[in-house]
Structures are given as C-alpha cells and as structure tokens.
Amino acid sequence: GVQYRSQQYVDYLAAQGVRPSMSRKGNCWDNAPMESFFSRLKVELIYAKDYRSIEDAKSGIFAYIEIFYNRKRRHSANDGMSPVAFEEKAALAA
C-alpha cells in the first residue's frame, strides 16, 4: 500500500475532493476481512462467469452477496455456519 501514501497520489486525491481513508498505522490486520471477502468473490463468482454488461455483473454480485454469501455459504469464522444461521443462533442464546 505504499503507493497510496505517495505525496503525488495524496495531492491528486485532494485536487479531486477525495478524502483518503487509511487503516491504523502499522496494523496489517485492519483490511484482512475485506481482502478475504474480495478473494472469495473473485474465485467463487467473477472468474467463473462471463458477464456481457455492467448490469449483469451488478445483478450477479448482488445475488452472490445477498443470497449465497450471507445466507448459505458456510464461514469458518462462524463455526461453519452461514452469517444468517450464526446470527439466529446468537439471538436465541441471548
């Protein structure tokens, strides 16, 4: 990520009215959950499809996240349960 800290890049963002968002200094774990998610998204969906339009891609990504990833796909961080099942179990335990 050093390229995102270069003065030229930071100046360009400022000129465009963009405020950069950085993780905590020296904490490589801040972005790990999103890196993992995008890795799975690419492997399980993007590389397996041949989208013909932006709308097809948007629809496919929405379905992947809302129908498969959150409701059906098992996650090791959730003891092998989907996020929905994990939250339901936690709600019952509360």
Q: Is the pLDDT of residue 64 over 90?
A: yes
Distance from C-alpha of 5 to C-alpha of 20, rounded to nearest angstrom: 9
| Any domain includes 2 | no
Model pLDDT, residue 57 = 93
| Any domain includes 8 | no
| Any domain includes 63 | yes
Q: Count of domains in the chain?
A: 1
| Any domain includes 55 | yes
> pTM value?
0.61
| Any domain includes 1 | no
Residue 37 belongs to what domain range?
29-93
Query: What average pLDDT is seen over the chain?
Result: 87
| Any domain includes 39 | yes
Minimal CA–CA distance to 64: which of 49, 76, 53?
49
Model pLDDT, residue 1 = 65
Minimal CA–CA distance to 57: which of 67, 65, 47, 46?
46
- The CA distances from residue 27 to 2, 15, 32, 91, in Å, are 14, 28, 10, 32
Q: What is the pLDDT of residues 10-56, one digit of tens each?
A: 899 999 999 887 766 666 666 778 888 899 999 999 998 889 999 99
pLDDT tier at 2, thresholds 50, 70, 90: confident
The residues that bridge with 81 in the sheet, in sequence order, are 75
